[in-house]
Amino acid sequence: MSEERTAIAQARPRGRMARVEETGVREFLAFCVGNERYALPLSCVREITRLPPVAEVPRAPAEVLGIISVRGQVTTLIDMRKKLALDAPALGSRARVLLVDQGEEILGLVCDRVVQVYRLTEEEVELASALGSESSSYVMGIGRPGLRKGTGGAAAKARATVSAHDILILLDPIALLKRHLHE
């Protein structure tokens, strides 16, 4: 099995999401960071919340925004703009925290806004090859919602035109958070 397929297999849904996986459809939560759309497997997102007051942590890595308390549990916040080396304006009122559960710890990923949940078939996911940057190790593929093969008619022709807003950069939560989970 290729390295990219292994990453996607590791990010497969657990529990109630297993039924969706059996049909060849995977669910991803799409969110914006700057002008780009990213997505994480829905199975790893425990909760979405507004950005609460943040306590800064001295000498923390640049991408660590600080810590927050979520129902009494201290959670590290990761600024996705810095993690992905993107320039973006200050966080606005639509900024959200994605609480990502990786088993060992729950981390908060700060994004500019949440878009929606996409149900992608295997046909709508293109595996990432060498993208040529440090952040490419976090990318497991590209999602192209609505680009399904084998369907005819006007609906298929409408879906064939894919805009930049229809492309999702699918992130591997294990690779993305590896540094923070093992420190």
Q: Are strands 125-127 and 139-143 parallel, antiparallel or unpaired?
A: antiparallel
What pLDDT, on a 0 to 100 scale, did the predictor assign at position 127?
Answer: 80
What pLDDT, on a 0 to 100 scale, did the predictor assign at position 163?
Answer: 53
What pLDDT, on a 0 to 100 scale, did the predictor assign at position 158?
Answer: 45
Tokens of 176: 């993305």
H/E/C letters for each residue in the chain?
CCHHHHHHHHCCCCHHHHHHHHCCEEEEEEEEECCEEEEEEHHHEEEEEECCCCECCCCCCCCEEEEEEECCEEEEEEEHHHHCCCCCCCCCCCCEEEEEECCCCEEEEEECEEEEEEEEEHHHEEECCCCCCHHHHHEEEEECCCCCCCCCHHHHHHHHCCCHHHCEEEECHHHHHHHHHCC
Quote the CA–CA distance of 178 and 176 in Å, as a whole number: 6
Q: Are strands 96-101 and 106-111 parallel, antiparallel or unpaired?
A: antiparallel
For the chain of 183 residues, list the mean pLDDT of each consecutive stretch of 10.
Answer: 39 45 84 93 95 93 92 91 83 93 86 95 80 67 77 46 70 82 49
Order of strands across the sheet that contains 96-101: 45-50, 96-101, 106-111, 73-79, 64-70
The class that CATH gives domain 3-181 is mainly beta
Q: Are strands 168-171 and 139-143 parallel, antiparallel or unpaired?
A: antiparallel
Whose tokens are 């993690």? That residue is 83
What pLDDT, on a 0 to 100 scale, did the predictor assign at position 154?
Answer: 46
What pLDDT, on a 0 to 100 scale, did the predictor assign at position 86?
Answer: 86
Query: What is the pTM for the complete model shown?
Result: 0.75
The residues spanned by each domain of the chain are 3-181
What pLDDT, on a 0 to 100 scale, did the predictor assign at position 28?
Answer: 96
